Chain A
Amino acid sequence: MTSEATETTDASDAAGTAGATETAGSAVTAGAGARATGVATATESPAADTSLRGRSSGVVQAVGRRPADIRRRPWESLAIFVVFAVSYSVLGHWLVVDLHVVGFETLDRWARALMVSTNDPPKLAAVGFDLPPLSVLFLAPFAVVPALTKTLAVVPVVSAVFAGFTMVTVNTMMRRAQVVIAVRLAVLAALGLNPLVVMYASTGGRSFLWLALVLAALGAIFAWYVTADIRFVMVAGVAFAVATLAGYGSLVWFLVSLVLVAVILARLGADGTEVEGTTVGLASPTVYVVALWSAFNLAILGAPFHWVTESSDVGTSGGVSDLSFLEILRGTGELVLDGAPIAIVVLPALLFTGVARRNGFALWLGILLLVTILTPGVAVLVHLTDSPLTMDNALPMLLVSVVGAVWLARSTVQGPGLVAAALAAGLALSIPWTFSSMETFRHQGLERAFHDAITTGETQEGTRTLDGSYVGYGLEQEVADYISDHVDGRGSVLTDNASTYAVVLLTGAPELFLDRVDRSDDDWAEAAEAPADHVDYLLLSTDTARDALSRRYPEAAAGDDLVLEQVFANDRYVLVKVPDDYRYGDQLPDDLDADGNGVLDSEESADPDGALDEGGVGGVVGEGPADSTDSTADEQSGGTP
């Protein structure tokens, strides 16, 4: 569909397909020719107007036939996938298992996945409503072997797999741009070694889960634009839908792409029916998943947009939400400069190519990159972000910049090799720059821990992030080991998994716990009221603000309860034994009334269902909106405060 790009074919792809050099514009012309032939034939028949060719007359996309495209190279794709997925997995194992560089949000998601897969009973409700559901469900198949989750060996694998998939997508885009294999490999290597990419691909974060799918969607639209093949619209539609449920931020790219497809078709002269049908094909999967997820929120939580307003992706702007406009601008500039410096060159080049050379796709990619750059700042302004101006926001900028540069390579008069080589060089040069920034960048999660782990090769257990959060999971591991060694009864440890998820995960045995996912919240509350009837132990967090059970038993959490004997404790957790005849209130804490209702704070008292509904359905939140963000606060900080 481009008329502006005049490409030459490199040796490797020329053998693959001559069609690779064909612009979509020429594909459309060819299609019109074929149709003209068909119409000429059909006019011999009075019924000709109803034939497919007659009916598809005027359609600008390739339908009912396969336009020329690059030849499939499954072995090349597989090799790239395996190299990157395995490399990131191995590196990730060293970082996560040996050096303890892992975010608590990641442990939270894995704990939920474990409960979906192997809890007693397995509960889909463990997914919860505060995270995009697929960010947990993608992990569930990997969590069926508790031994692997217990050791965290599987944690880096999933992000590595999605990162490998991303690299395959980028490579396919470069093939469609006729970049020779040597340059393609150079670009992939430079991108794959980018420290931001390495960190998020190997430490189990969820960024790549949705970014891989967004890239797949962009790759499909790239292919659609090149070949005019309607199939790619469907691929993009499905990819965007899945991406949306893996990361709500995908919706931004989806909306921009939807507009692009409609505008391009209209520019090419497609009639309203074709524009409408194509956009329906692109949009319907995403609209469906959004509607479905909203319906679930409505049915279970009574708030259809709970996933927007109360999810962990939003509302945690915290202190930085008070940033002034100028500070946001400055933060945005720092993100681009430190995280995705190639965007500084790619963005103006795309906009210039788009406007001056009337290259529609370049203009769209330019707009997309601009939106990607501005989104973190806008999210802070409207309080819709889980990671305000933190360094992970640079990752989408980097990837979209790469896509933009690949298109520039395809569109250049001099041939794709030069621009692609420049891209590889730019990416390579930015590696030390970005790596250095990770140590000092103002708003960040585990970047400094990652930097230090790489440079020193030493465990980061017990170190602090820039904002003072704790790095590592050694304390959780201690409790988990004690429970694994001393507890064997199913459901014998009562706990608020919203606070103790890491311990649950590290035991690898969620069935040992009576948590808020197992049954209903009423059942859990009943067990908390009369624990001796249900369990042998209480696992409490020492941070009573974050743990519904600790708030009910503050003295036990502090190790001061005379009846509930402490059997294990460290700085963050207390495990107490429940006597056989123990009833709640045997030792009445000062801040509780005789009915025990005092365990709820004033806000929860006003809404007696509030605390329990969230935990019972969502499984792991357990608290009101303010508390529900705890796990994501961990994510941005990289550890527990």
Chain B
Amino acid sequence: MSGTATRSVPRLSDGVENELGHALPEGICRTFRVMPYAHHQGRILVAVTDAEDAIAEHVVAERLDRPVVLVRHTAHEISDVIDQAYPPVEAEVESPQARRARMQMTRMLTRSGLVTSAQMQRAMLEYSRTGDPLGDILVSHGSISEDVLVAALSEMHQLQRVGLVGFEPDYDIARRLPEKTVRTLQAIPVAETEGEVLVAVARPLSPADAREVEDLLGQPFRQLLANRSDLDQLIQRIHSHHYVDVSTRFLKDNFPERSAHVVVTPAQKALFLVAVVAVVVCAAFWPTATATAVIGAGTLLYLFVALYRVRLTLHALGARLETDVTDEEIAALDERNLPVYTILVPLYREAAIVPRLIRDIDALDYPRTRLDVKLLCEADDLDTIDKIKELALPPHYHLVVVPDSQPKTKPKACNYGLQLATGSLTVIYDAEDRPDPDQLKKVLVAFERVTDDVVCVQAKLNYYNQDQNLLTSWFANEYSMQFELVLPAMGASESPIPLGGSSNHFKTHVLREIGAWDPYNVTEDADLGIRLHREGYRTALVDSTTLEEANSQVGNWVRQRSRWNKGYFQTWLVHMRHPFQLLRQTGLKGFVSFNLTMATALVLLMNPIFWALTSAYLLTEWSVIEAVYPAPVFYASSLMLVVGNFVFVYLNVAGSLQRGEFGLTRTALLSPIYWGLMSYAAWRGFIQLFTNPFYWEKTEHGIDEAPAP
């Protein structure tokens, strides 16, 4: 209940009661120019400039726990009191000109009926928190279109508009400004006439920016306001060759030793050849001893991998290793200081799940005006491109069309999008991802808390369709173990972390410096984690989850998994080109951790061989098999058979319990069957490493039976 009063009540000049000084947040006080100041007859008196302002009344009444009475005061009186309660910080306080412009925009849009009171109230509230331009907020909410906003700005700033849809640019003119300037200022020359260049801009340039543009052009120019989405498309079109070149060649040209464009180096080939010849020769002369040595080495590898996993798991079970962020810490974030966050979403033939993707990104608790969402599509994927265009998304969604070129991989698309990124932080999500709504803010807090060398924060991954069938349950078991136990322990021990394919949050400038993703590596995520570590950077785990779609079809799953295994082999080969250099850069612990992590792919290759040996012996008791198992090898093998296998099964149970996925514990007990599938996929990937190393086995998404609401 609220009301208004203009006489016979205390005035602001009588002072502000102590408990009311901070009853409303600063942003609301300044945005709506309101100030609660006294209790009177069971009501709270609130100073306002316009006692009839229904929006201000509603906002204030919602936030105070008693009925309010709006009391008209002058703007000057109210501002003074607000400044006393919240001493102004120069950079954060709205200038009078800006306030006038905002009020002008408000009046223009409300009086014309283009925006409802509710929409304006919502936008004003967001403005009070973020201080972002009101028009941009309204556009990001979908309350008005970008064209309407451009028209309004054109009116306010007395600038001409220009439509860029269907515009055929003159490339020479368009490239008169360097790509970096074009990208950062969102300004591109579109024509030249009567001694001046016409420059399409997203927003009127500041005087300093205008001077810079004029200097670069070397002649006067005139600004034309353009739709941001259209301008963005034009910029991509003009500079696409540059972007393609950088996204495919940067790493290869600048850090060739870190690029997987060569699968096996000549030195590695020679080494492997010598090893194979040595084994063959030894096998010819000393078959039993050679077999024993090979089996012993394999068993030892099993043992080390198992012990390492157990150690990590015990560490994770014994302590909380992820970076925890509380709701209170998130609430305490000042949204005026939130950075622009770039979200890269590679899409390929995934038109059907685009609406779901937009819904889940919209659900993120982050000001949309500070989101820079890049929807990365391949040029030949017209369905997805058309679908995105059809949705007429607000301009914080950027359709990025990656021109057709080789290698046609997800990392290349990400590299392409990264060049257009405007955020200081960048995260990659897959098309079907459902991140926790507060994930971006959690990561921000996490970055503030960890040491400066942490440049990547990995969120946990799991699956929303885990109950769909046995395969998805197994997959969820595996991810629960990996992201609840193994990776947190690796992060805590500062070991190189093979990043997950999604929900890695980076400091953008570092990502660019090190060459971002390797377009030739089919597990570019794992490779990037290792490269970050080699450069002296670290990765932390945050306690926030992104739910993905688990592969529910065996064929699709095998394709995905074979790519992962192929990528692990690629990554191992790349980083082991100079093992001593790797050892020096990562330290012994990191070196061992890297090798044991990558060795999981090798273990999957060995599994069928050892299973066959065990089965053959049990069925035939063939003395030859017995002969190649001397006591130490036999004991180690027995330990792995009897204890190791169960430990791996139970780690899956533990991961699911740790996550509270009680329904998955049963399927975890059946995971040895899953290992069979994993081994099949590993062999497929291994063979493909030689036959088609850069081929990207595309995972089909959106095939879960129970689509999300």
CB pair B662–A276 under 8 Å, yes or no, is yes
A55 interface residue (CB < 8 Å to B): yes
Cβ–Cβ contact B646 & A48, under 8 A: no
Give CA–CA (A226, B522) in the complex, Å: 47
A-B contacts at CB below 8 angstroms, number:
115
On whether the beta carbons of A278 and B662 are closer than 8 Å, the reply is yes
With contacts A63-B657, A231-B317, A280-B665 known, is A51 near B709, CB below 8 A?
no
- The stretch from B420-428, B492-500, B631-639 touching chain A is B631-639
Q: A56 with B654: in contact, given A234-B317, A277-B665 (CB under 8 Å)?
A: no
Once bound together, how far apart are the Cα atoms of A394 and B464, in whole Å? 52
* Residue of A59, A63, A123 ringed by the most chain B CB atoms within 10 A: A63
Contact with A along B620-645 (1 / 0, CB 8 A): 00000000001100110010001000
Residues of the B chain whose Cβ atoms lie less than 8 Å from the Cβ of A277: 656-657, 661-666
Closest to A293 in B: B642
Q: Are B634 and A124 in contact (CB under 8 A)?
A: yes
Interface-side segment among B432-440, B571-579, B602-610, B676-684: B432-440
Q: Does A46 contact B (CB under 8 A)?
A: yes
Measured in the bound complex, the distance between the Cα atoms of B634 and A230 in whole Å is 36
**CB-CB nearest in chain B for A275:** B662
Contacting residues, chain A, for B543 (C-beta < 8 A): 64
Which residues of chain A come closer than 8 Å to B635, judged between CB atoms? 122, 124
| Known contacts A47-B434, A50-B434, A63 near B545 by CB under 8 Å | no
When the two chains form their complex, are residues B650 and A44 in contact, meaning their CB atoms are under 8 A apart? Answer: no
- What is the bound-complex CA distance between A304 and B469, given in angstroms? 34
Query: Contact between B658 and A299 (Cβ–Cβ < 8 Å)?
Result: no
Task: Say whether A45 contacts B360, CB under 8 Å.
Answer: yes
Partner of A55, one of B618, B658, B660: B660
A42 interface residue per 8 A CB criterion: yes
Contact A47 B662 (CB under 8 A): no
Segment of A205-213, A284-292, A353-361, A604-612 in the binding face: A284-292
Q: Does B212 contact A (CB under 8 A)?
A: no
Number of interface residues of B (CB under 8 A): 44
Q: Which of A48-83 contact B (CB under 8 A)?
A: 48-52, 55-56, 59, 61, 63-66
CB-CB contacts below 8 Å: A226-242 with B? 230-231, 233-234, 238
Question: Complex: how many Å from CA A285 to CA B464?
Answer: 28
- Which residues of A sit under 8 angstroms from B387, Cβ to Cβ? none
Closest residue of chain B to A51, judged by CB?
B436
Measured CA separation A45–B434 after assembly (Å): 10
What is the CA–CA distance of A47 and B437 in the complex, to the nearest angstrom?
A: 9
Contacts of A46 in B (CB 8 A): 359, 363, 708-709
Most A-side CB within 10 Å, residue of B359, B631, B649: B631
Query: Do A41 and B327 contact each other (CB < 8 Å), given the known contacts A46-B709, A63-B658, A238-B650?
Result: yes
A37 interfacial contact with B, CB 8 Å: yes
Say whether B657 contacts A44, CB under 8 Å.
no
Answer whether A273 and B359 are a contact pair too, CB < 8 Å, given A281-B657, A284-B653.
Answer: no
Q: How far is the CA of A56 from the CA of B661 in the complex (A)?
A: 8
User: Which residue in chain A gives the minimum CB-CB distance to B635?
Assistant: A124
| A37 contact set on B, CB distance < 8 A | 327
In contact, B659 and A64 (Cβ under 8 angstroms): yes
In contact, A44 and B634 (Cβ under 8 angstroms): no
When distances are taken between beta carbons in the complex, the residues of chain B under 8 Å from A48 are 363, 437
Q: What residues of chain A lie closer than 8 Å to B359, measured between beta carbons? A: 46-47
Residue of B nearest to A278 (CB): B662
By CB atoms of chain B within 10 A, which of A42, A51, A65, A121 has the most? A51
Q: Are A47 and B660 in contact (CB under 8 A)?
A: no
| Cβ-based interface call for B365 (8 A) | yes
Cβ of B211 < 8 Å from any Cβ of A? no
CB pair A234 B327 closer than 8 Å:
no
Contact indicator A230/B657 (Cβ below 8 Å)? yes
CB of A334 closer than 8 Å to a CB of B: no
Contact: A121 with B657, CB < 8 Å?
A: no
Compute how far the CA of A47 lies from the CA of B658 in the bound complex, rounded to whole angstroms: 23
Is B320 an interface residue, CB under 8 A from the partner?
yes
Q: A452: CB under 8 A from chain B? A: no
The reply on B510 being an interface residue by CB < 8 A is: no
Contact with A along B160-195 (1 / 0, CB 8 A): 000000000000000000000000000000000000
Q: How far is the CB of A132 from chain B (nearest CB, A)?
A: 15
Assess the B654–A281 pair: CB atoms within 8 A: yes
Choose one: B320, B464, B656; the contact of A66 (CB below 8 Å).
Answer: B320
Q: Please report the C-alpha to C-alpha distance between residue A403 and residue B436 in the assembled complex, in whole angstroms.
A: 43
Please tell me if B23 contacts chain A, counting CB pairs below 8 Å: no
A353 CB to closest chain B CB, in angstroms?
Answer: 30
In the docked arrangement, what's the CA distance between A288 and B336, Å?
57
Cα distance A124–B641 when bound, in Å?
A: 14
In the bound complex, do residue B656 and residue A230 qualify as a contact, i.e. CB atoms below 8 Å apart? no
A565 at interface by CB-CB < 8 Å? no
Residues in B whose Cβ lies below 8 Å from that of A49:
709
- Cβ contact within 8 Å between B654 and A52: no
B669 at the interface (CB under 8 A from A): yes
Closest beta carbon of chain A to B489's beta carbon, Å = 14
Which chain A residue shows the least CB distance to B669?
A: A284
Inter-subunit contact B653/A281 (CB<8 Å)? yes
Say yes or no for A274: interface residue by CB 8 A criterion. Answer: yes
Residues of chain A with a CB closer than 8 A to B650's CB? 234, 238, 284-285
Instruction: Tell me, in angstroms, the Cα distance from A124 to B638 when the chains sit together.
Output: 9
Measured CB to CB, the closest approach of chain B to A570, in angstroms, equals: 34
Interface string of B293-331 (1 = CB under 8 A from A): 000000000000000000000000101100010010000
B511 within 8 A of A: no
Cβ-defined contact, B658 with A231, below 8 A: yes
Contact B631 A121 (CB under 8 A): yes
Q: Which of B422-471 contact A (CB under 8 A)?
A: 434, 436-438, 462, 464
B480 vs chain A, min Cβ distance (A): 11
B547 interface residue per 8 A CB criterion:
yes
Q: B545, A51: Cβ atoms under 8 Å?
A: yes
Q: How far is the CB of A81 from chain B (nearest CB, A)?
A: 17
B contact residues around A121 at 8 Å (CB): 630-631
Contact, CB under 8 Å: A280 / B653:
yes
Contacts of A47 in B (CB 8 A): 359-360, 363, 434, 547, 708-709
The answer to whether A274 touches B708, judged by C-beta atoms less than 8 angstroms apart, is no
Partner of B438, one of A41, A50, A278, A284: A41
Give Cα A356–Cα B397 distance, bound, in whole angstroms. Answer: 65
Mark interface residues in B38-65 (1 if CB within 8 Å of A CB, else 0).
0000000000000000000000000000
Query: How far is A273 from B664 in the complex, measured between Cα atoms in Å?
Result: 9
**Complex: how many Å from CA A411 to CA B327?**
34
B363 partner, pick from A44, A122, A238, A281, beta carbons under 8 A: A44
Q: Are A233 and B464 in contact (CB under 8 A)?
A: no
Q: How many angstroms from the CA of A37 to the CA of B438 in the assembled complex?
A: 12
Is the beta-carbon distance between A122 and B658 smaller than 8 angstroms?
no
Whether B317 lies near A273 (C-beta < 8 A) is no
Set of chain B residues within 8 Å of A50, measured between Cβ atoms: 434, 464, 547, 708
Contact, CB under 8 Å: B654 / A44: no
How many Å from the CB of B556 to the closest CB on chain A?
A: 21
Q: Chain B residue with minimal CB distance to A119?
A: B631
Q: With A45-B360, A45-B363, A238-B650 given, is the CB distance from A281 to B327 under 8 Å?
A: no
Question: With A52-B659, A64-B659, A124-B638 in contact, do A44 and B365 touch (Cβ < 8 Å)?
Answer: yes
CA–CA, A123 to B634, complex, Å?
10
Flag if A52 contacts B327 (CB, 8 Å). Answer: no
Chain A residues whose C-beta falls within 8 Å of the C-beta of B662 in the assembled complex: 59, 273-274, 276-278
State the CA gap A48–B665 with chains docked (Å): 24
Chain A: minimal CB distance from B61 (Å):
22
In the complex, chain B residues whose CB is within 8 Å of the CB of A281? 653-654, 657, 665
Closest 7 interchain pairs by CB?
A277-B662, A63-B660, A45-B363, A280-B665, A50-B464, A277-B665, A56-B660
Q: A46-B363, A277-B665 are in contact. List 7 more A-B contacts (CB 8 A).
A: A47-B434, A64-B659, A121-B631, A122-B631, A230-B657, A234-B653, A277-B663
A sample of 16 cross-chain residue pairs with beta-carbon separation below 8 angstroms, ordered by A number, consists of A45-B437, A46-B363, A46-B709, A47-B434, A47-B708, A49-B709, A50-B464, A51-B545, A51-B547, A66-B319, A276-B666, A277-B662, A281-B653, A284-B669, A288-B649, A292-B642
